[in-house]
Structure 1
Amino acid sequence: MASSAIVRAHWAARFLFFCAGFLFATWGVHIPTVKAVYGLGVGAIGGLVLAAGIGSVAGLTQAGWLIARHGARRVAWWGGMLSAVAIALLLQMPHPVALWALLALYGAASGLLDVAMNADASELERAAGRPLMSAFHGMFSLGGMAGAALGAALLQAAVAPRLHLWAVALGSAALLAWSVRQMLPAPPAGPHEAVHGRFALPRGQLALVGLLAALGFVVEGAMYDWSVLFLQAERGAPQQRAAMAYASFSAAMAATRFLGDRLRVRWSAVGLLRASALLAGAALALVLLSDSVALALLGFALVGVGLANVVPVLFSAAARVPGVAPAQGISAVAAVGYCGFMVGPSIIGFVAHGSSLTAALGMVVGLALLQAALARRALRA
């Protein structure tokens, strides 16, 4: 195959990840706008987030067989286009019930896009014969940071939110359309790769990879949802400084992902995952044991460094499980992992309510250590 086509396919994969992160961040930026436009309370906003989560799980669980039947190109096209449409219509629903349905559609579409682009990335990685997945996930992080920064800047400039949403949707749709056209056709499934017509709970080694993904997503979700509140409530940091917890974690994760493929060349998957989980656990322990806000910010950044390669390593492993088609392996692991992302932060909240946020995040340290302990068993050749 011509080298120019391979180069375009690599850029297409990068743009798919970037657009997915950009659209996700745009929705996050405008959650307060949605609250104000529709006159919703905090509970209703929680319901919208739940709708997106339910839709995501539905999309993730169905993506594997859809890709097996229709190909990653077509699934990425529909997932990307429907995600962009949902973002464009975010402030134009006639009733909150329709908005709930729209967020469920967005979640399902983003789940389809997620599995399709990761399946495409695993094929590019396999064809290149070297690690690529971490840098692709770095583009997702970069897209999220760019989407959040652009949204904040336009809000500061008093640009109409509807104009912002439509511009993001149209720009993302155009970039997604070009990217999908450049994707390489997927090879046929191997004679020993199972291709099912419906989602089945992963078993054996795939179940262990999914468990590790869930543990990693619990830790990641805890950082997104609880790090800022921890600094504000438990360490007395002012809100503007406490917000740096989220920023330091996200920036460190994004930067490390662009270095992650070099680490994957030098380290085995088991060694890298184990070291990453141990670093994340130790860094979070530093945050909990120190009274210094500056040390806590450093700790949150190191947690981001530790978590940066967890998902790329596990998704690459899911695509190589013997007897399972790559798309279905990624679909199963992503679905199980995302359940941890949704449920974990809520459990942390319940534990914090009964004791303290410090105690609840101490439980998260234990989950990181458990991930390190299970690494060899889950990622055996």
Structure 2
Amino acid sequence: MIVARTRWASRAQFFGSGFIFATWGVHIPTVKTHYGVDEAALGLAMLAAGIGALLGLTQASRWIGRQGARNTARFCGAVYALLLAGLLVMPGYAALLGLLAVFGVVTSVFDVAINTEAAQLELRGGKPLMSGMHGMFSLGGMAGAVTGGAALATGMPPQHHLTLVAVAMALVIALSARDMLPKAATAFASTESGFRLPRGALIVLGLLAALGLIAEGAIYDWSVLYLKQELGSPQHQAALAYASFSAAMAAARFSGDAMRARVTPSALLRASALLAAASMTLVLISHAPWLALIGFAGVGVGFANVVPILFAASARVPGVEPARGIAAVSAAAYLGFMAGPPVIGFLAQVSTLTAALYVVVAFAAALAASARYASPD
């Protein structure tokens, strides 16, 4: 029997993940300035995190299979949070790359663990829950961006802010993990290797996830810098780009489970991706920060249900354990997540960040065109 506190424990995990990720996003300009790097080097740092994430995914299902989602989330989530405190204290750029690679490993394993938990709760409860769980991630992202912007506006030293968030989120994750499903509910026995490349239906779901996360990841990693560098907003105001994106995404995800119950996955993906493409175009052709913020909100609504739809589908593939299905699709998604930000960084280096961000429009349009493969209508 699933009790309310088990669902709220899962929601707290997603919230903490979003808060941590947003705090990293808010401080990307801080990291850029602190280490004196350009967009290309910053893109390489993001690539290091992406490579770490991909390595983590090769072991995620094995660890969850042995330890269960609760134990895996408790450990990896706490490390994920605490690594924030190290972002600005590395002795140099090379050390930063190493820290971000580890950051990527624990982030990806934590993501698979909490999505496995959410998938089990959805299956046991017999009704959609995944969009709401990802809504908590977006709500955490909004809260992290707003509090990060407020900390910068009040003059709090960035290192103090990062350390405070690291400790607070490590506690949230550790305490909430106590009420997650017991190990036996999400662990499984297997003699196979911990990771398999996507096959069959998982290939299609993985490709669609990659398209979505290339575009979504670009917003996470570059939106604050875009508002600061391209439109001239001070950093504490530029943080609102991430906040508006996450707030709109959260609102759309909280209503996403009801939509998923009424609309086919392919139709919902198509409409969502078209909205994201149109909204990102508005961001890039506008010259007023307030209009760009409206556009970022539209992008958030557009991308809100892409990952919940695809992860929920990957957990239901016949003959595949939920953790393996999610890990396989996550691997393809993280390939996109890994490739997108550095590609945009290199494009920005040879042109402008504005021109580079048209990649988001292109991939959102490609996702819309391919949405029919998500499920039969």
- The TM-score with structure 2 as length reference comes to 0.84
Does structure 1 retain, via aligned residues, the 8 Å contact 2:141–2:246? Answer: no
- Per the alignment, residue 187 of structure 1 pairs with 185
Find the partner of 2:48 among 48, 51, 57: 51
Find the partner of 2:263 among 258, 267, 289: 267
How many Å separate the matches in 1 of 2:228 and 2:79? 38
Larger CA deviation: 18-27 vs 106-115: 18-27
Q: Secondary structure at the match of 2:121?
A: helix
- Per the alignment, residue 110 of structure 1 pairs with 107
Deviation for aligned residue 1:249: 3.0
Larger CA deviation: 130-139 vs 43-52: 43-52
Q: Which has the larger radius of gyration?
A: 1
Does structure 2 retain, via aligned residues, the 8 Å contact 1:65–1:195? Answer: no
Deviation for aligned residue 1:121: 0.6
Amino acid corresponding to residue 239 of structure 1 in structure 2: S
For 1:221-232, list aligned pairs within 5 A: 221-224=217-220
- Per the alignment, residue 340 of structure 2 pairs with 344
Deviation for aligned residue 1:326: 0.6
Deviation for aligned residue 1:174: 1.8
- Per the alignment, residue 314 of structure 2 pairs with 318
- Per the alignment, residue 252 of structure 1 pairs with 248
* Change in 2 beyond 3 A, CA 1:195/1:123: farther
How many Å separate the matches in 1 of 2:98 and 2:348? 32
Does structure 1 retain, via aligned residues, the 8 Å contact 2:25–2:221? Answer: no
Does structure 1 retain, via aligned residues, the 8 Å contact 2:18–2:137? Answer: yes
Find the partner of 1:19 among 16, 22, 32: 16
Does structure 2 retain, via aligned residues, the 8 Å contact 1:284–1:303? Answer: yes
Give deviations 1:165-214, integer Å, cap 9, x for gaps: 333222222221222111113537799xx873232221121011010001
How many Å separate the matches in 2 of 1:332 and 1:345? 21
Amino acid corresponding to residue 76 of structure 2 in structure 1: G
* Change in 2 beyond 3 A, CA 1:368/1:243: same
Does structure 2 retain, via aligned residues, the 8 Å contact 1:278–1:306? Answer: yes
Amino acid corresponding to residue 206 of structure 2 in structure 1: G
- Per the alignment, residue 213 of structure 2 pairs with 217
Larger CA deviation: 242-251 vs 65-74: 242-251
How many Å separate the matches in 2 of 1:274 and 1:304? 15
* Change in 2 beyond 3 A, CA 1:227/1:71: closer
Q: Secondary structure at the match of 1:200?
A: coil
Amino acid corresponding to residue 317 of structure 1 in structure 2: A
Deviation for aligned residue 1:105: 1.6
Find the partner of 2:64 among 49, 62, 67: 67
Larger CA deviation: 171-180 vs 359-368: 359-368
Identity %: 55
How many Å separate the matches in 1 of 2:269 and 2:258? 14
* Change in 2 beyond 3 A, CA 1:207/1:12: same
Does structure 2 retain, via aligned residues, the 8 Å contact 1:270–1:376? Answer: yes
Does structure 2 retain, via aligned residues, the 8 Å contact 1:58–1:108? Answer: yes
* Change in 2 beyond 3 A, CA 1:304/1:162: closer
Give deviations 1:130-153, integer Å, cap 9, x for gaps: 111111111111112222222232
How many Å separate the matches in 1 of 2:314 and 2:178? 25
Amino acid corresponding to residue 217 of structure 2 in structure 1: G
Does structure 2 retain, via aligned residues, the 8 Å contact 1:215–1:371? Answer: yes
* Change in 2 beyond 3 A, CA 1:348/1:183: same
Larger CA deviation: 356-365 vs 74-83: 356-365
Larger CA deviation: 18-27 vs 276-285: 276-285
1:177 aligns with 2:174: yes
- Per the alignment, residue 239 of structure 1 pairs with 233
Q: Secondary structure at the match of 1:53?
A: helix
Count of paired positions: 373
Query: Bigger relative contact order, structure 1 or 2, given CA contacts below 8 A and separation 6+?
Result: 2
Give deviations 1:277-332, integer Å, cap 9, x for gaps: 23223444556678887766544432221111111111101111112111111111
Q: Secondary structure at the match of 1:278?
A: helix
Does structure 2 retain, via aligned residues, the 8 Å contact 1:195–1:328? Answer: no
Amino acid corresponding to residue 369 of structure 2 in structure 1: A
Deviation for aligned residue 1:83: 1.2
Amino acid corresponding to residue 378 of structure 1 in structure 2: A
